[in-house]
Amino acid sequence: MSLPEEVPDRPGSELTITRIYERAKYLFPDQEIVYRTRRGVFRYTYSDFADRVERLASALSSLGVKGLDRVATMDWNTHWHLEEYYAVPMMGAVLHPVNVRLAPQEIVYTMNQAEDSVLIVNADFLQLAEAVVPNVKSIKHVIVVDADSVPSKVGGVQAYHYEDLLKERGGRFEFQALNERRPAFMFYTSGTTGLPKGVYHSHRQVVLHAFSILSSVAGFGAGPKGIQITSRDVSMIVVPMYHVYAWGFPFSSIMSGQKTVLPGRFDSKAYLELIKQEKVTYFAGVPTILYMLLTDPESEKYDLSGVIFINGGSALPEGLALMAERRGMKVFVGYGLTETAPVLTLALPPSRLQDKLSDRELFYIKLRTGYPIFFVDIAVVDQDGKPVPKDGKTLGEVVVRAPWVTYEYYKDPEKTEAAWRGGWFHTGDLAVWYPDGSILIMDREKDVIKSGGEWISSLRLEDAISQHPGILMVTVIGAKHPKWGERPVALVVPRRGWEGKLTTEEINRFLTENFVNRGAIPKWWLPDKVIEVQSLPLTSTGKADKKVLRAQYSDVLAK
């Protein structure tokens, strides 16, 4: 009898979603969850929520959901979605929130690959479900939420009303202890290069991720210049729950006993009203959401001072950040990928650093991609996998390790192997590394322009060009070049009155005066060509679709 090489588990060691649920029931039974449906704004307690979660599990179980069965959802951020987020993984099954912004044929592809057996759909997406379900043979049941009445069949499959199911089949359900490594969720990337790729995460991964965000923001952001989120905060879950765990908030909010607001279908007026009525103190989202809330015609009537906004999905433009700060909001950036569950970094500097920075320096640091949160190892590496200098200048690829990075791309060993080469997960994002350990993403690896063996950041160029007064939208791609391999080409949408004036000469004059001459951009980065267009094609996540643009414009310099 001696020390074991591995200490075995005793009951209660497992890091599962059930632990978050049980804790919430135990400590915060009377805390509120506020939700907005087509009928209005309602509220119930954590205790009511816990009860409905149990009844949902019972109902799903009676429909035959068992083992690692996949349950798909098509919904906004509703209390129904939250109930599914807990009940399905806690039963031992796997929740697959479908990204309703993908093209229907992409959705069919993902649901077939995931072999979803049940679909829970908001009445708003019934038409989509009718189109998709006939093409997904594994679907056996459809459950509809937020509907006055439910057709007997959807897409040829037996349909139920969620509330009826809970009433009729929602008995008691005893959640069993699960292995923490059991898969809990599946998500698909938005697939800007080819078909969407599936990833899945275990209970352990989901729980550690939520725990890390929670404690990183609570502890890390402390201090007079810091930003803190604690159990007293009121959380509004704005990031769509069909995007990777809504960035973890459905777990971190409930875990810490926060009043939690599920605002339903996006509507800037309704969201502003909820912030006011429910005294929301923080939310996260893509820059577009912030922009829409700040530019709503009635926005100025709402007091947003003190409200925290965590930006993700793409870089937070300085102008937008300033607009938010002028309204008294506190903004900072977070970063992650669907593959990484998602959060890897938050742009909250350590307290010691905060004290040494001026307000303006701090403002810019909070716009960076950020510092790794607990348990995230991060490095920026060159093409040989060697760390680049922490000089804030040299571009390299961001590689990461964390307990919540996806084990694989589902059914795609080739892509898995490529992403995990050398024991690090390759994000495909190009960044510079600062001496303080923070990073700033400059481009996607696939979007970077490889000119004469050197890299030109399309994002950095876009950011610079967007500051020209005549620019409404801009995107920069690499076009084939006989000598340099690739050279930058800018596609610009003019503001009214600027049509015909955004020539290559004009843009390069602007860039030279404002950036090249100040050393902010190298001269050789100046685009070879600027092309005026009326609009830009967008991806399902609202970014310019460079895949389409490259197909269209890649030969423009070769001619």
Q: Which of 80, 162, 211, 309 binds a copy of itself (CB under 8 A)?
A: 211
**DSSP codes, 76-100:** -S-HHHHHHHHHHHHHT-EEEE--T
Q: Residue with structure tokens 């969407």? A: 196
Strand, coil or helix: 392: coil
166 touches a copy of itself by CB under 8 A: no
Closer residue to a copy of itself, CB minimum distance, 46 or 302: 46
Applying CB under 8 A, the span of 143-151, 223-231, 334-342, 465-473 interacting with a copy of itself comes to 223-231
Cβ count within 10 A of residue 412: 16
CB 244 within 8 A of CB 349: no
44 touches a copy of itself by CB under 8 A: no
Has 455 been annotated as catalytic?
Answer: yes
205 touches a copy of itself by CB under 8 A: yes
Catalytic position from the list 83, 106, 339, 486 = 339
CB 463 within 8 A of CB 471: no
Residue span 399-428 as binding mask against a copy of itself, x where in contact by CB under 8 A, dash where not? -xxxx-x-x--xx--------x--xxx---
3-state secondary structure 167-208: HHHCCCCCCCCCCCCCEEEEEECCCCCCCCCEEEEEHHHHHH
Tell the smallest beta-carbon distance from residue 503 to a copy of itself (Å). Answer: 47
Has 189 been annotated as catalytic?
Answer: yes
10 touches a copy of itself by CB under 8 A: yes
Query: Total residues contacting a copy of itself (rule CB under 8 A)?
Result: 73
Q: Restricting to residues 251-270, which ones interact with a copy of itself according to CB under 8 A? A: 255-257
Q: Residue with structure tokens 């209660």? A: 12
Has 504 been annotated as catalytic?
Answer: no
Assign residue 67 a region (left: φ > 0; alpha: ψ between -120 and 50; beta: otherwise).
left
179 touches a copy of itself by CB under 8 A: yes
Catalytic position from the list 78, 189, 369, 416 = 189
514 touches a copy of itself by CB under 8 A: no
Both tokens of residue 432? 């510079």
Query: Which residue, among 28, 446, 457, has the nearest Cα to 253 in the 3D structure?
Result: 28
13 touches a copy of itself by CB under 8 A: yes
Distance, CA of 19 to CA of 13 (rounded, Å): 10
Closer residue to a copy of itself, CB minimum distance, 326 or 411: 411
Tell the smallest beta-carbon distance from residue 249 to a copy of itself (Å). Answer: 14
Q: Restricting to residues 55-84, which ones interact with a copy of itself according to CB under 8 A? A: 68
Tell the smallest beta-carbon distance from residue 478 to a copy of itself (Å). Answer: 32
Applying CB under 8 A, the span of 218-226, 297-305, 498-506, 530-538 interacting with a copy of itself comes to 218-226
For the beta sheet containing 425-433, the strands, ordered from the edge strand earlier in sequence to the opposite edge, are 377-381, 396-401, 425-433, 439-444
The catalytic residues are 189, 339, 450, 455
